[in-house]
């Protein structure tokens, strides 16, 4: 059954949040699996549990904290979503538009998305960071399915530069100034709905189609942001090589270990980008 988009729901959630925080965030950062440590960089913090926001979604993934963190990062008023939502949790694609639409009503103009991803490109290594240049989504509905809400954007919208080129370039510039300099890749993120990891045959097909990293998130958020006119910057942390690259099983534990170990360098990169935006 189609869950129709509900502007009143988004507005009620945004107003409930505004009553509890004193800043209007310019930037929102959505954290991927086990990357919650990045939220520790936020100054002058105010935390709000998702469960305390009427009409909001609830995270069921144990590696996602499930709360907003408002404050300042890179001297900018910002909000971090420590915990995101996925189709495999049982949410419809229309429901997956809720978080970013609420962020839009809070005044957010720039969305930074992060994820833990499997490396498809054989030149990648575990622990590498990929700047998302584009994505491939060949299955599942759009989060914009259903009646269009003109309050956010037009029915048909262009996504040819969904991942904002100037922000991608800025990420590379900032990475070169870190100590030590951080090497980044730039590539295409391939969306799969999960929750199972992909088969080796699927990974071979994804590689042929042009995917460099694969994961189960991010795309619904960036599409919703694009519809609302936000700028978008995306990072994939390569937490494992995808199925079939090595002769070993994939596990969520492996993803968590690498993500937690790499959160500091990704956090420093994001903070540097915000300082120079």
The verdict on residue 2 lying in a domain is no
Q: How much is the pLDDT for 241?
A: 78
pLDDT in tens, 51-67: 999 999 987 766 656 89
The verdict on residue 255 lying in a domain is yes
pLDDT in tens, 180-206: 999 999 999 999 999 999 999 999 999
| Structural domain for 219, as ranges | 7-276
Tell me the pTM: 0.93
Among 50, 29, 213, 194, which Cα is nearest to 114's?
29
Q: How much is the pLDDT for 4?
A: 79
The verdict on residue 44 lying in a domain is yes
Q: How much is the pLDDT for 117?
A: 93
The verdict on residue 158 lying in a domain is yes
* pLDDT per 10-residue tile (average), the chain, 277 residues: 82 96 95 78 92 90 78 95 92 95 98 95 95 95 93 96 98 96 97 94 97 97 98 95 66 65 87 95
The verdict on residue 194 lying in a domain is yes
Classify the phi-psi angles of 33: left when phi > 0, otherwise alpha if psi is within -120 to 50, otherwise beta.
beta
The verdict on residue 227 lying in a domain is yes
Q: Phi and psi of 109, rounded to 5°?
A: -115, -20
Q: Torsion angle of alpha carbons 102, 144, 85, 187, nearest 10°?
A: -110
Q: How much is the pLDDT for 247?
A: 60
Q: How much is the pLDDT for 37?
A: 79
Straight-line distance from the first to the last Cα atom of the chain, in angstroms, rounded to the nearest whole number: 42
The verdict on residue 1 lying in a domain is no
Q: How much is the pLDDT for 244?
A: 61
Q: What is the CATH number of the domain that holds 186?
A: 3.40.50.1580
Q: How much is the pLDDT for 80?
A: 96
Q: State the total domains in the chain.
A: 1
């Amino acid at each position: 059954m189609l869950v129709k988009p509900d502007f009143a729901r988004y507005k009620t959630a945004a107003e409930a949040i505004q009553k509890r925080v004193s800043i209007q965030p310019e930037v929102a950062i959505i954290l991927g699996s086990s990357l919650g440590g990045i939220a520790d960089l936020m100054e002058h913090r105010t935390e709000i549990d998702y469960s305390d926001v009427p009409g909001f979604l609830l995270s069921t993934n144990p590696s996602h904290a499930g709360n907003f963190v408002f404050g300042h990062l890179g001297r900018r008023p910002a909000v971090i979503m420590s915990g995101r939502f996925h189709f495999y949790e049982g949410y419809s694609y229309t429901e997956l538009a809720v978080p970013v639409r609420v962020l839009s009503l809070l005044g957010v103009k720039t969305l930074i998305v992060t994820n833990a991803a499997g490396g498809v490109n054989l030149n990648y290594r575990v622990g590498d960071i990929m700047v998302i240049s584009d994505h491939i989504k060949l299955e599942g509905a759009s989060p914009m399915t259903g009646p269009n809400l003109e309050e956010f954007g037009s029915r048909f919208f262009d996504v040819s530069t969904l991942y904002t080129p100037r922000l991608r370039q800025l990420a590379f510039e900032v990475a070169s100034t870190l100590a030590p300099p951080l090497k980044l890749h730039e590539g295409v993120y391939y969306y799969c709905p999960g929750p199972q990891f992909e088969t080796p045959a699927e990974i071979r097909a994804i590689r042929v189609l042009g995917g460099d990293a694969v994961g189960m998130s991010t795309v619904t958020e960036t599409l919703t942001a694009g519809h609302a006119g936000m700028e978008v910057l995306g990072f994939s942390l390569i937490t494992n090589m995808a199925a079939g690259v090595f002769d070993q099983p994939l596990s969520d534990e492996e993803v968590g270990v690498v993500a937690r170990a790499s959160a500091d360098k990704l956090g420093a990169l994001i903070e540097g980008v915000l300082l120079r935006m």
